[in-house]
């Protein structure tokens, strides 16, 4: 089962990157959408995205006895959304097409995410969460790497790399769903409670969810601005794909390392170290100028290591808490998604209009003011947000003691 679980997680990783990185930049380049319009669209879309997750969690819990049918529905929805987004030219207003495509894609993605994480909780129990996290997040991160590389690699003889990627994804997700479907026949759940509120009754679960929220905010900022920063501050547009791959490969290959040392020193202590590494890296990024490829490569490597710890250990800690409190994993991970995506909505949806308001111009990105605003937004803002997450994590560690 673990390899099938990892394969489906890999397919999910391929869907996640287009939602948060490829799609906004693709539509700006393809249809010249303004940052204000795009920012407002992202705010609305991500609001829909995170508001629906608690309901998707409850839907996932209520369909536990329907076998793999709900998962198939989610996979088909992702195929439709990805095809509309990248393979079919926008009909009518591009911004409206963008919104419709993303709603279909992220709805299927979110539901499948909840189902696969809940399966890991229910099938592996409290003692197996660190182990299964290694398979799940390793597969997820490899999928992200494939998504980062694919549009460039699939631009064969001038063909549309994003269109080819959409078709490749559809084939992959359907095969992965077929292979993992048999694991949904069994009902492993031993939960006695469903989380029906955005604020779980258990105080430790609430504290963990707030940590998830704080920790997702820096990722939301950097994922939104990565391509803009690499293109305009560093002047390394041709290296954006390889740098993304370095970042995610670093995260993927670090997953077994983080899980190994977390078994000896505890996941919360290891998370503290990884967050500190991330803070140093973000601050360093602010000092970079045009052509600093070596320095930024080291930063991508270091922040990738930090992401590997975040993606592997935080879900495992949360899953253990769900099991210990006998809360349903489907509704539990619906709230988990809500916390993550609330951070994405607030940061990405508000950041772009604020940047434009203080002087960042898409038509003149190379002006001194635009570059300074971009550098501060990409590097220093995540640095401050990560410090807040680290302080809250330290609070959790002191509580546990």
| Among 219-233, 234-248, 355-369, the least confident range | 355-369
CATH number of 2-181+197-400: 1.20.1250.20
CA distance 186 to 1: 12
Query: Could you tell me which of 276, 232, 248 has the C-alpha nearest to residue 394?
Result: 276
pLDDT of residue 34: 80
Confidence of residue 346 (pLDDT cuts 50, 70, 90): confident
Residues 6+ apart with CB under 8 A from 103: 45, 48, 81
User: pTM value?
Assistant: 0.80
Give residue 400's pLDDT.
Answer: 66
Q: What is the pLDDT of residue 362?
A: 61
Assign residue 291 a region (left: φ > 0; alpha: ψ between -120 and 50; beta: otherwise): left
Q: Retrieve residue 358's tokens.
A: 């203080």
- Amino acid 366: pLDDT: 65
pLDDT at 193 over 60: no
pLDDT value at residue 190:
53
Whether the Cβ atoms of residue 47 and residue 175 lie closer than 8 Å to each other:
no
What does the buried/exposed string (b/e) look like for 297-335 if buried means 16 or more CB atoms within 10 Å of the residue's CB? bebbbbbbbbbbbbbbbbbbbbbbbbbebebbbbbbbbb
Look-up: residue for tokens 């997702």? 216
Residue 70: the pLDDT is: 92
DSSP letter at 193?
B
Question: CA gyration radius for the chain?
Answer: 20
Query: What is the pLDDT at residue 337?
Result: 86
Question: Largest alpha-carbon pair distance within the chain?
Answer: 60
Q: Determine the pLDDT at residue 201.
A: 72
| CA distances for 309 relative to 5, 146, 273, 297, 316, angstroms | 19, 20, 9, 19, 11
Name the 3-class secondary structure at 327: strand
Indicate the burial class of 157 (C-beta count within 10 angstroms; 0-12, 13-18, 19 or more): exposed
Does residue 197 surpass a pLDDT of 60? no
* Predicted pLDDT at 348: 66
CB hemisphere CA count around 315 (13 angstroms): 32
pLDDT of 187 over the 60 cut:
no
Q: What is the pLDDT of residues 10-38, one digit of tens each?
A: 999 999 877 767 888 788 888 878 878 88
Check pLDDT > 80 for residue 59.
yes
Higher local confidence (pLDDT), 130 or 273: 273
Give the Cα separation of 166 and 23 in Å (integer).
Answer: 12
Q: 269-284 pLDDT, tens per residue?
A: 899 999 999 999 999 9
235: region left, alpha or beta (phi > 0 left; psi from -120 to 50 alpha):
left
**Closest CA relative to residue 212, chosen from 396, 5, 40:** 396
pLDDT computed for residue 225 by the predictor: 87
């Amino acid at each position: 089962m673990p390899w099938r679980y990892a394969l489906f997680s890999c397919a999910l990783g391929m869907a996640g990157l287009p939602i948060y990185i490829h799609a906004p930049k693709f539509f700006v380049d393809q249809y010249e959408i303004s940052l204000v319009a795009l920012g407002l669209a992202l705010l609305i879309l991500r609001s829909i995205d995170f508001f629906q997750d608690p309901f998707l969690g409850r839907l996932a819990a209520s369909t536990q006895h329907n076998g793999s049918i709900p998962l198939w529905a989610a996979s088909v929805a992702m195929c439709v959304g990805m095809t509309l987004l990248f393979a079919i030219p926008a009909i009518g207003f591009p911004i409206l097409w963008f919104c419709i495509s993303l709603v279909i894609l992220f709805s299927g993605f979110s539901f499948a995410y909840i189902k696969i994480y809940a399966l890991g909780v229910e099938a592996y129990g409290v003692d197996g969460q660190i182990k299964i996290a290694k398979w799940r997040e390793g597969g997820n991160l490899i999928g992200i790497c494939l998504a980062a590389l694919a549009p460039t690699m699939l631009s064969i003889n001038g063909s549309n790399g994003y269109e080819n990627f959409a078709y490749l994804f559809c084939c992959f997700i359907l095969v992965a769903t077929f292979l993992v479907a048999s694991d949904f026949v069994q009902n492993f759940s031993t939960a006695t409670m469903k989380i029906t509120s955005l604020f779980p009754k258990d105080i430790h679960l609430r504290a963990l969810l707030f940590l998830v929220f704080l920790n997702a905010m820096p990722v939301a900022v950097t994922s939104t601005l990565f391509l803009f920063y690499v293109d305009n501050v560093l002047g390394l547009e041709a290296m954006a794909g390889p740098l993304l791959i370095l970042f995610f490969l670093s995260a993927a290959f670090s997953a077994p390392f983080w899980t190994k040392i977390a078994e000896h020193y505890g996941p919360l202590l290891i998370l503290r170290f990884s967050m500190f590494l991330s803070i140093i890296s973000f601050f360093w990024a602010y000092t970079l100028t045009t052509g600093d490829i070596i320095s930024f490569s080291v930063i991508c490597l270091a922040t990738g290591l930090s992401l590997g710890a975040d993606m592997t250990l935080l879900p495992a800690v949360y899953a253990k808490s769900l099991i210990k409190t006998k809360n349903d994993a489907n509704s539990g991970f619906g709230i988990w998604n809500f916390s993550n995506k609330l951070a994405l909505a607030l940061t990405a949806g508000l950041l772009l209009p604020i940047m434009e308001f203080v002087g960042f111009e898409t038509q003149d990105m190379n002006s001194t003011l635009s570059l300074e605003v971009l550098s501060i937004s990409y590097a220093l803002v995540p640095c401050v947000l990560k410090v807040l997450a680290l302080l809250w994590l330290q609070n959790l560690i002191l509580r546990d003691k």
